[in-house]
Structure 1
C-alpha cells in the first residue's frame, strides 16, 4: 500500500507539473507498473501474485467510496440554473457519440469476443459517450474558470451525462446477467424507493449536528455504512456495486451548513486518497500496451476518431444551435471531451461483465488518457491564455447590446 500510494503521488505531481490533471499521472503510473514494461517482470517483483487479490479487495472498497463521493458532489441546483441550453448541450454531447459508437461496436465485434453481442454494441456506444464529471470539475477549478458561464454549462451537462451513462450501464449489465440472478432485477424499483424513503431520515440525522462544530463522526460513519450496504445490495441484485454506491451518494441530502458539507466531502476524499490508488494499479495490471499489434493500433485509431468526433462534434453543434459563438462552443466541446477516471471505472465494469477483452480494454484506457490529456493544451490554444473565465460571461443565445454612453459627472 505504501509503495502504491507513493507511486500514485509521484506520478500525480509530475502530471500537474506538466499542466495535466493529477488523475492522468495516477492512471499512467498504474499502467507503467503493470505488464507494459519488462513483460510483467516489474509487476511480479513489486506485486507478487499472492497479494494481488488483497489489492483487488482494497481497490473495490476505494471504488465504492469514490462513487459515493461522486454522488455527494452532484448538485442538482446547477441544472435548474442552466435552463434549456444545458439540456441541449447534454443531449448533443451524449447522443451523437452514442450513435456513432454503435457502428463502431459492430465493427469491433468482428475481432473481439463478447458475452452478449447486443450489450457489447450498446456498451461501446456508452464508452465513447462518457464525460468525467469529477475530473472536469478539477480542471475548471485549476484553470480559474469557476465563475464563467461555460463552466456552469459544462458542469451541468456533464452531470446529466454521468446520470445517463450510469443508468444505461446498469441496463446493459442487466442484459448480460446470466448467472441466475436476473429475476433480482425486479427488486431494483422497490430498492430505489427505499433509498428515497431513507432520504428524510438522513436529513433529520444531519440536521441534528450542532452549528459551528464539525460534522459528528457518528453521522459520517452511518453514511459510510449506508454506501457500503447499498453497494453490496446492488451487487446481490445483479448490478455492479458502483451503481449502489453512486445511488446512495445521490440521495444523501446536502447539509444546510457549508462547514458540515465541506467536512463530509473532505473526510470522504481522504479515504479515497488512501484506497483509490489501489484501483489505478489493479487496473494497470490489466493493460499491456507492449502487446498491442497492428490490428489493435487500427482499433485504437478508429476509437479515437469516433470518441473525439462524436463528443466534440455533438457538443459543438448543440451549443451552436443555441446561438453560442464559435470559439466559446469549441471551448465547451473541449471540456466535454474529458473522460478520465469515470471512463476507467465504466471500462472496468465492462471488463468484469465479459463485454470487453483485455486487448480492447487497453485500447479504451489509452483513449481515456489521451482525450483527457488533450483538454489542457486545447483550452490554451483556443483561448490564447491559461484563464478562460471571461468566455461566456454573458447569457448565451442573447447578443449584448451596445452600451449606452453614460453621462459624465462634473464636480462643482
Structure 2
C-alpha cells in the first residue's frame, strides 16, 4: 500500500511538471495561449494535440503522472472502504446488543473513555436499536505526518426499513482502523422514541428516496457484474486448450478385457463440458434483467403497465428465483470441480508411471495447465457466491421511501 501512495505522490508531481512545461511552451507562443492552458484543462489537451511536435514530451509526462496518481489513490481508497465498513458495522451491532465492552474494541482512545462511550450509547439507544445493516455512500482517506485517517458517510438501515444518515471518522493504528468520532443524522435529544417508525433526518423524503434508489442500483449492478463475469469465465473455460497434450495417450484394458489406446485429450474437460454453465448464466442474466425492469422503484408509464405491475411480494419471489438459480449453479460447479480434481489426480498418476521421457516431457506442464483450469473454477464459484448473496439482499430489500402496499 505504501508503494501505491508513493506512486500517487510521484504521479502528482509528474503531472504538475508536465503541465507547467506545457504552459511554458504555450506562453512562448502567446500570453493568451499560456493562460488558457493553465486555466482550461480541455484547452491544454487541445493545444498539446495540435502542437504535438513541441508538446509531446510534457503531454506524455503529464499523462503518465495522471495515470500513476489515479492508479495509486483509487486502490488505496477502495481498500479503506473495505476495511472501514466492518468496523462501523461491528460498532453498530455491539451498540444494538448493548455490549459496551465489544463496542469499545472499535473505539480509539482519542474518542474518549469506556465510561464516555457508555454514556454515548445510552444517549443514542434509539439510534442503535433495531439496527439491521449499513451502507456507505462516500469515503476518503489521507495520510499526513505518518498518521492515516479516514472519513465515511452512509446510511444506517433499521429492521423496519427506515434509514438514518451517519458520519464516521477513523484512524489507523498498528494496521487496525478504529473510530475517533461517530455521529448520526440527528442528535440524541431529537431522536424519535424506539416505538415509532419515523426517524428524523436532515434529508427530505425525495432526497431519501434518491439515496435509497442509488444504493439499490449499486447493489443490483454489482450482482449483475458478478453474473456477467461468470459468463465470461465460462467462455474462457470453453476455449481452454489442452493442445500440447494431443499426442499423449496410454493403453488400458476395458471391462471386456480388450486393450485400447486412450488419448489424454479425450478424457480432459472439453468445451461441451462447460457449455451448460454459459447457458445457465444467460438465463440468470435474463432473470436479472427482469428483476430490474420490474423493481418497485420503477414508475408505470401506462395504465396497462400499472395493471401488470408486480406486487412487492411477487417481485421478492422473482429475486428468490434468481438466488435459487445462482445457488444451484454454484453447487453444480463445485461438484464439477471435485470430479475434475479427481480426474487430474488420476492423470498425474498415469503420467508419473509412464515410460521414460513421458513424465519429464508432460507431467510438469500438465500440473501447470490443470492448476490454471482449477483456478478458473474457483473464480467462478467465488463470483457465483457473491452474486447469490446480493440477490438475497435484493430479495429482502426494505423499500422505506415507498408507500406501495406490500400485498
Tell me the TM-score normalised to structure 2 length. 0.22
Higher Rg: 2
Tell me the TM-score normalised to structure 1 length. 0.22
Higher helix share: 1
More relative contact order, 1 or 2 (CA 8 Å, 6+ apart)? 1
